[in-house]
Chains A and B, each alone.
Chain A
Amino acid sequence: QKEVEQDPGPLSVPEGAIVSLNCTYSNSAFQYFMWYRQYSRKGPELLMYTYSSGNKEDGRFTAQVDKSSKYISLFIRDSQPSDSATYLCAMRRGGGSNYKLTFGKGTLLTVNP
């Protein structure tokens, strides 16, 4: 079993739809969870950062972590064509000296006008 599983999609939705992106993981040591957005032919950029279980909201984006189920989600409300990108989940273990992130393979999202 891969440490991090992410449905690669592709996912195509109409403008204004609510989008749900998900990752599951197997390593219970993961404590920090991130979502990166990557536009075509660009580098990934951090979108959301969360620690431990719960929800975090930033504008139209909500990140949700359920450590008991080893499941993380990213919700996008009122999706826009500019949200069309690949979304990568990433996570790492705790500890100040742990530097490595484990990434999901990414989900390609297209929002159609």
Chain B
Amino acid sequence: NAGVTQTPKFQVLKTGQSMTLQCAQDMNHNSMYWYRQDPGMGLRLIYYSASEGTTDKGEVPNGYNVSRLNKREFSLRLESAAPSQTSVYFCASTQGAQNIQYFGAGTRLSVL
């Protein structure tokens, strides 16, 4: 049982380049989330998708876009990467009424 799978694990971009971070879950969860984690800042919510076909902004959405491709997959896109987007990005999905979130292993992104 893979749980939440994120790709790639590492990425280095130049300022202005674009890329998409991929996330897939095999637990049949309805809700999915994208967070960024920075030293001293904790986990901050970028976007979330309460169910297939819906997406909503979180705390820090600027500079990002998301697509809920189907129930399993939720992607995060950086259209024009900036050094301030250097971070570790985590995808999570939620189980049932308790809304316990299960996290992927993360993508470490550096923007030069």
Contact = CB atoms under 8 A, between A and B. Distances in A.
A70 interface: no
B100 A34 contact: yes
B97 interface: yes
Interface range for B: 20 to 34
Contacts of B94: 99
Does more than half of chain B's interface fall in helix, strand or loop, or is it mixed? strand
A107 B104 CA distance: 20
Given A43-B104, A45-B103, A49-B98, A105 B42 contact: yes
B4 to A, nearest CB: 8
A92 B99 contact: yes
Given A43-B105, A105-B40, 12 more contacts: A6-B42, A44-B43, A44-B90, A90-B101, A97-B50, A99-B31, A99-B48, A99-B50, A100-B48, A103-B43, A105-B41, A106-B42
